[in-house]
Structure 1
Amino acid sequence: MNIRLAADADRMEIARLHTESWRDAYRAILPAALLDETLAPIMAERWADQPIGPSDAVLVAEEGGALSGFAASWDGDPVYIDNLHVAAAARSRGIGRRLLAGTARHFLAIGRRKALLHVVASNSRARALYLALGGRPDGIEDKNLYGTVVPNERIEWDDLGLLLERATA
């Protein structure tokens, strides 16, 4: 498996992975019409137009020429980890950890030290990963996901070095 920076040619595959991941993870909390009918075009448009700055990091996991996961993070203080998605067939193989390690490495190299993300509060699998990697819960806030209000937990890292250390242990 290869972890690398995404290229423009990866955008539609990222959109497909993003859509499939939402369909799998959020089936119980988002409307079927959104997941089955409107989400794919929304994600295709989002990723076609998503600006990626020179210090942002969109990383992909590639296996045998196909993408099996991606992480998208935006530079700032703190860094915002916007997305981490792994294909259902590729889960529990450390891909998410490797993508987060690459993210931490990227931002540490440009002098960033802190990061945060929001995770759907009912996504216990993702939440457990973030806590195992040293993330600290910092409250619940409602987020509007295309018309459905969903509780999200804020997870913070005061030290990206800890995230890198735990993700590579």
Structure 2
Amino acid sequence: MAIAAVRRAEPADVPEITRIQLVTWRTAYAEVLPAEVLAAMDSGETEREWLRAVREGPARVFVATEGDRLVGFCAAGPAPAAELADAEGAVPADADTTILVSALLVEPRWGRRGHGGRLLATAVASFRFEGATRGVTWVPEADDASLAFYHSVRWEPDGTVRTLDAGGRLIRERRLSGDLELTLC
């Protein structure tokens, strides 16, 4: 078996990050997002956005590797107030120590090998050592695999939902929240 690892993303990783995002979304979200939305995803635009994120932040981007293959990635950074607010717009007292995991994807053919857990653990540890105490993420209600993954690390729905318009199809997402002292099962 090849050695698995996680490291900070570098600009040279961006084409693979882009490929993984497009392949994973088109596979894992085929039932969630309209086909025309998935087909219209622009690899050039996606690559430019990831290059900006890797070079400038504010999120930190990490990649998972198995041997010499890049197999997944995670982006996490300080949580914007809008991502933390409740239905009335109130921001929690711990907003300054809360991070947002904005992306966590492992290419489906590399799934169930621990890459997601290693990615999340590495990303949250980088912030925990700087005083962060809690993390949040948004997951489509129809994404049972991601919901199960976050449940396995004890991140649970906090009761907040939002609805996004994806090419005319409404997608409900749940906000999950959890401690940064992860328990990987």
TM-score range relative to shorter protein: 0.7 to 0.9
Partner Cα distance (1:136, 1:37) in 2: 32
Tell me what 2:74 maps to. 71
Identity %: 29
Unmatched runs of 5 consecutive residues or more in structure 2: 80-95
Tell me what 2:108 maps to. 88
Amino acid at match of 1:48: L
Q: Over aligned residues, Cα RMSD in angstroms?
A: 2.0
Bigger shift: 5-14 or 52-61?
Answer: 52-61
Cα deviation for residue 105 of structure 1 reads 1.1
- Residues 156 and 59 of structure 1: CA distance in aligned 2, closer, same or farther (over 3 Å): same
Tell me what 2:82 maps to. none
- Normalising by the residue count of structure 2, what TM-score does the alignment of the two structures yield? 0.80
1:134 aligns with 2:154: yes
Greater CA radius of gyration, 1 or 2?
A: 2
Cα deviation for residue 126 of structure 1 reads 0.6
1:154 aligns with 2:157: no
Cα deviation for residue 50 of structure 1 reads 2.8
Report the secondary structure of 2:171's partner residue.
strand
Partner Cα distance (2:24, 2:32) in 1: 13
Deviations 1:39-82 (Å, cap 9, x if unpaired)? 43442232233365577421101123221010101124310000
Cα deviation for residue 5 of structure 1 reads 0.5
Partner Cα distance (2:167, 2:61) in 1: 22
- Residues 21 and 83 of structure 1: CA distance in aligned 2, closer, same or farther (over 3 Å): same
Unmatched runs of 5 consecutive residues or more in structure 1: none
Report the secondary structure of 1:102's partner residue.
helix
Partner Cα distance (2:56, 2:47) in 1: 19
Amino acid at match of 2:173: N
Bigger shift: 142-151 or 77-86?
Answer: 142-151
Partner Cα distance (1:80, 1:32) in 2: 28
Report the secondary structure of 1:58's partner residue.
strand
- Residues 143 and 70 of structure 1: CA distance in aligned 2, closer, same or farther (over 3 Å): same
Partner Cα distance (1:111, 1:12) in 2: 32
Tell me what 2:41 maps to. 38
Partner Cα distance (2:155, 2:174) in 1: 11
Tell me what 2:31 maps to. 28
Report the secondary structure of 1:117's partner residue.
strand
Cα deviation for residue 8 of structure 1 reads 1.2
Q: How many residues align?
A: 164
Q: Higher helix proportion, which one?
A: 1
